[in-house]
Structure 1
Amino acid sequence: MTPQAHLFLLGLAAAGQAARQPEGFKDAFFGCRGNETAPEQLHFNYAGDRGMTISWNTAAKLQFPTVRYGRGPLLDRIAFSEVSVTYPTSSTYSNHVFIDGLEPDTEYGFAVHCADEKDRHQFKTSLPAGHRRPYTFAFIADLGTMGPLGLTDNGQKDALSPGEITTMQSLSQFKDQFEFMWHDGDLAYADDWLNEELDGFLPNTTTKGGAAVYEAILNAFYNEMAVNVTMDRPYMVGPGNHEANCDNGGAGSYTDSICVQGQTNFTGFRNHFRMPAEQSGGVENFWYSWDYGMVHFVQFNTETDFPNAPGIPGGSGEENAGPFAPNGTQIEWLKKDLASVDRKKTPWIIVAGHRPWYVDDTMCDSCQAAFEPILLEYGVDIALFGHKHFYERLAPIADGVPDPKGLNDPSAPWYLVNGAAGHYEGLSTPNTPLQNYTVKAIDTVYGWSRFTVHNCTHITQDFIGESPDAISFETQHHC
């Protein structure tokens, strides 16, 4: 009996699942087929105080994706699912296993189906809602593939300097200093394949052949992220415009009509992740929430599913995506979710949506009309955004007017835009003059935001890059 099989049988006994295993389960578990079932693109995310979803990709479909896990040296428990999904044009299957009944704020070792015996990882479950321990999390947006399929130092526009540390590498260096990472839309930039070919950065293919280039960029990104961060830290994601279709909303004289089935309407994004929508009453990876210690976190969707959304068919964004729920669902969910927050338990509310409405001089007016009144009504503290490829720290704002109290106990949400993580398109420059609500803008270096939740009245944010920026937010919550 191999060590892996021994642990597997221990797991069946310890977890009490022997009687519940479906027909063919043992054969499927032991049926590893070399490269076909070798795991890649590993990532995991919170699914409630006592849950975690483990996800990875394989070249072939798994009948019963399985995770071995445990708190001690032995991985003496198992969890399995039947979720091994793919889509037209994908070269892999996405496997998702939800583990429930875990102890909060606790480290577990785990190994996924068909992993090498030495290929063991760890996750730490969510800090229970209301817990007062300080912690740090990472926030990024607009991060794409690095290297020969994306951002590199080969002389492209806004190329990396020789030896420059990328955001992925920086996150890897600092990952012992944060407990999870939040990626607020625009993952991989696989839809930039067309721009990369039109620019002469990649060899030209046919538009039909572009589907394989798109998939190659996507896979490269998720593997890079796994190696650097996501196999070690929970990875929470939200939708951005670059997940919507295959051609960046139109490049050159092309439109999304060149996109083949499987590379439209957020298909890859929907298959690759399983965010905690079920636990929070949301919808898929588009809108959901979770609690972590003193903070209630909310991801909402600025692309579709609200009036005049930019990504809907006929919208300004040209993505022709959605809807993903009946009319009005997202707005009603957001109101209900925020209304249910116990501010004595989780005094902070931090939300994120991809497209900002307060930023240099190009804003998402429909986003503002749909969401800002709700954020004001329910006393949201911090609102985070990406989409614009620079860092812009703003004042707390209500209806376009900066709060005169600044960050000292404001009565309006504090806004931050950070889409400076880096990708093939490089950085962009804010339009000037800057708005009266802009406090600081950085558009010359790549970077990410590190937030530290100190207590119920004090949060700090640091822009981690070659031009750092640090700021402290204070409010008088009733602790």
Structure 2
Amino acid sequence: MMRSLAQLKALVVPLLALCAQVSAKHDTMVNSQIRLAYVGDTAMRVSWSAFDKVDRPVVFYGKTPSALVYAASSDESVTYNTSSVYANHVTIEGLEPDTVYYYSLPQHLICDNEAHAQPPFSFRTSRSPGDMTPYSVAVVIDMGTMGHNGLTTSAGQGVNPNNILRPGEQNTIQSLDAVKDDYEFIFYPGDFAYADDWLDEESEGFLPNTTIQEGYEVYQSINNDFYDEMTKISTVKPWMVGAGNHEASCIPDGVETYNGISYNASLICQPGLTNFTGYRNHWRMPSDVSGGQGNFWYSFDNGMVHWIMLDTETDLGDGFIGPDQTGGVEKDIAGPFGPYANAQLDWLKKDLASVDRTITPWIIVGGHRPWYLSYANQSTTICWDCKDVFEPLFLEYAVDLYLSGHAHFYQRSAPLNNSVIDPRELDNPTSPWYITNGAAGHYDGLSEGTNPPAPYERFRLDERDATYGWSKLTFHNRTHLTHQFVASGNGSILDTATLYKEH
């Protein structure tokens, strides 16, 4: 809902009162963890976290920072019973494509406490479909909390020394922040914060021991640290996210050992920490305008690219709940989310069939789990079910690139058709290109790929290289796309490859 400046005057007195109440209760920001998401090319979704429920979340905005003369509001202020904050979601509609807007939240505008006062933030709306202007995107997967609750210059017992940061080394969040003017948005197919590793971090002596009953507080603390750290980026760059296995529950695999005792998820994961609850509350992806399902599967256009986010964790159709019996999430803590077994697959086929390649020649798909990888522990990493259900559609509709993570290293593969290397490689192949980059960094660090590598592997960086990083995709025109691996530590480019497609 948009309001004029005159209509907003009635809100000022109650908001001033709210500032006073919150200032008395908290010594941290009223609003934090501000995050953006595209909703087509004429709308933007603004989300943020607050300590208390907001009856009518409001966002002020305008085309200049000194004249935020419009406002949008909603009734979405949601939480769950183990969360320390409320998630607020407001959609700003009626915007112009590819245009900079300035925005702020009410408390940031009028609270007289300097700790709360902030200048307006800004965002740029999405490019219209068919806009062939070149642009770049940051692709980040498997990035956890940095600092005292996560990846830092030390770690607990048993962590490989290659997996800690060197003194003074820049982490991935700092790397993304340093060059945030160089990319349009962040594309993030799963695994945020790694808050579900809290028990491992305590068991290894990295975090102070707590009781199992207090675990949800540690979990929330790690989550909040992560989203606070990302605010410097997420206030100005949209985040288009997907579900990973570490969002499913408060522990990674449903069973965990602590002080020699094995605990079931039902004992450790208190209500609110199962079934992707935090993930479902924290984000609002544009499934409402693309016919998808919540934050799990959806699509959007930006300029010359049609982007698709898939759910590799649940709803794979034909009775599947998780990707496989050993590596998938437990049936009692996750999904399904679609109205029927094949809902995601039916949606994907319809979505792909609707793409006009004369308008958006590129089709880029993201999903958390890979199915082509040089990795020894394939039973818990490779998603064979994903391959079975998604790959035929990728081939039928000429998907250009599939981006995944889950394995904590970087591997660029050749274009593949049912494991067969496309003879044209990157010179106008007829098969999708596969890139896995789960090297963004978290407490447990990087993993090691197999030697010898799979025949389709073309480049890899893993634990032995001790290099964290992220991917930068640059769309030059309707025929050329460049992928680069950016080393977080110093911003250097360690791998570059360009795909040519006639389209």
The two structures have a TM-score, normalised by structure 1, of: 0.93
State the one-letter code of the partner of 2:351. D
Q: Is the 8 A contact 2:195 2:223 kept in 1?
A: yes
- Which residue does the alignment assign to 1:99? 92
Residues 452, 60 of structure 1: alpha-carbon distance in 2 compared, 3 angstrom cutoff: same
- Which residue does the alignment assign to 2:484? 462
Which of 448, 452, 459 in structure 1 is aligned with 2:470? 448
Root-mean-square deviation (CA, aligned residues, Å) is: 1.9
- Which residue does the alignment assign to 2:363? 349
Residues 225, 13 of structure 1: alpha-carbon distance in 2 compared, 3 angstrom cutoff: closer
SS in 1 for 2:241: strand
The answer to whether the aligner puts 1:368 opposite 2:387 as a matched pair is: yes
- Which residue does the alignment assign to 2:182? 177
Q: Is the 8 A contact 2:140 2:470 kept in 1?
A: yes
- Which residue does the alignment assign to 1:6? none
| Equivalent runs, 1:99-248 vs 2, <5 Å | 99-116=92-109, 117-156=117-156, 157=159, 158-227=163-232, 229-248=233-252
Which of 391, 394, 411 in structure 1 is aligned with 2:410? 391
- Which residue does the alignment assign to 1:7? none
Q: What is the distance in 2 between the residues matched to 1:269 and 1:109?
A: 27
Residues 313, 474 of structure 1: alpha-carbon distance in 2 compared, 3 angstrom cutoff: closer
Q: Deviations over 1:197-226 (max 9, x none)?
A: 111111111111101000000000000011
Q: What is the distance in 1 between the residues matched to 2:222 and 2:418?
A: 40
- Which residue does the alignment assign to 2:256? 251
State the one-letter code of the partner of 1:325. G
How far residue 113 of structure 1 moved from its aligned partner, in angstroms, is 2.9
Q: What is the distance in 2 between the residues matched to 1:100 and 1:149?
A: 38
Please identify runs of 4+ aligned residues in structure 1 that moved more than 2 A: 11-14, 24-37, 116-119, 250-255, 307-320
Q: Is the 8 A contact 2:312 2:323 kept in 1?
A: no
How far residue 467 of structure 1 moved from its aligned partner, in angstroms, is 6.5
Residues 458, 251 of structure 1: alpha-carbon distance in 2 compared, 3 angstrom cutoff: same
Which of 55, 58, 75 in structure 2 is aligned with 1:82? 75
Q: What is the distance in 2 between the residues matched to 1:155 and 1:243?
A: 22
Residues 426, 316 of structure 1: alpha-carbon distance in 2 compared, 3 angstrom cutoff: closer
Q: Deviations over 1:126-160 (max 9, x none)?
A: 00000010000100100000111001102542111
- Which residue does the alignment assign to 1:324? 337
Q: Is the 8 A contact 1:39 1:113 kept in 2?
A: no
Q: Is the 8 A contact 1:135 1:454 kept in 2?
A: yes
How far residue 319 of structure 1 moved from its aligned partner, in angstroms, is 3.2
Q: Is the 8 A contact 1:28 1:62 kept in 2?
A: no
Q: Is the 8 A contact 2:323 2:383 kept in 1?
A: no
How far residue 309 of structure 1 moved from its aligned partner, in angstroms, is 4.3
SS in 1 for 2:199: helix
| Equivalent runs, 1:304-343 vs 2, <5 Å | 304-307=314-317, 309=320, 311=322, 316-320=327-331, 321-326=334-339, 327-343=341-357
How far residue 237 of structure 1 moved from its aligned partner, in angstroms, is 0.6
Residues 392, 269 of structure 1: alpha-carbon distance in 2 compared, 3 angstrom cutoff: same
Q: Which moved more, 1:248-257 or 1:334-343?
A: 248-257
Q: Is the 8 A contact 2:321 2:335 kept in 1?
A: no
SS in 1 for 2:471: strand
The answer to whether the aligner puts 1:472 opposite 2:481 as a matched pair is: no
Residues 312, 137 of structure 1: alpha-carbon distance in 2 compared, 3 angstrom cutoff: closer
Q: What is the distance in 1 between the residues matched to 2:283 and 2:192?
A: 12
Q: Which moved more, 1:304-313 or 1:448-457?
A: 304-313
Q: Is the 8 A contact 2:365 2:401 kept in 1?
A: yes
Q: Is the 8 A contact 1:442 1:467 kept in 2?
A: no
Residues 429, 151 of structure 1: alpha-carbon distance in 2 compared, 3 angstrom cutoff: same
State the one-letter code of the partner of 1:446. Y
The two structures have a TM-score, normalised by structure 2, of: 0.88
State the one-letter code of the partner of 1:399. N
Residues 331, 315 of structure 1: alpha-carbon distance in 2 compared, 3 angstrom cutoff: farther
Runs of 5+ unmatched residues, structure 2: 110-116
Q: What is the distance in 1 between the residues matched to 2:137 and 2:320?
A: 29
Residues 315, 309 of structure 1: alpha-carbon distance in 2 compared, 3 angstrom cutoff: farther
Residues 353, 330 of structure 1: alpha-carbon distance in 2 compared, 3 angstrom cutoff: same
Q: What is the distance in 1 between the residues matched to 2:45 and 2:282?
A: 12
Q: Is the 8 A contact 1:241 1:319 kept in 2?
A: no
Q: What is the distance in 2 between the residues matched to 1:247 and 1:155?
A: 19
Q: What is the distance in 1 between the residues matched to 2:321 and 2:423?
A: 32
Q: What is the distance in 2 between the residues matched to 1:209 and 1:425?
A: 22
State the one-letter code of the partner of 1:140. V
Matched residue count = 461
Q: Is the 8 A contact 1:357 1:368 kept in 2?
A: yes
Q: Deviations over 1:150-193 (max 9, x none)?
A: 01102542111111110000001111100101111001100000
Residues 220, 155 of structure 1: alpha-carbon distance in 2 compared, 3 angstrom cutoff: closer
Q: What is the distance in 2 between the residues matched to 1:61 and 1:290?
A: 30
Q: What is the distance in 1 between the residues matched to 2:228 and 2:118?
A: 19
Q: Deviations over 1:292-338 (max 9, x none)?
A: 00000000000000146463896642433100112211110000001
How far residue 283 of structure 1 moved from its aligned partner, in angstroms, is 0.7
Q: Deviations over 1:96-127 (max 9, x none)?
A: 00011100000000001311454310000000
Q: What is the distance in 1 between the residues matched to 2:372 and 2:385?
A: 12
Q: What is the distance in 1 between the residues matched to 2:402 and 2:451?
A: 23
SS in 2 for 1:392: strand
Residues 25, 467 of structure 1: alpha-carbon distance in 2 compared, 3 angstrom cutoff: closer
How far residue 61 of structure 1 moved from its aligned partner, in angstroms, is 0.7
State the one-letter code of the partner of 1:201. F
Q: What is the distance in 2 between the residues matched to 1:202 and 1:319?
A: 26
State the one-letter code of the partner of 2:86. Y
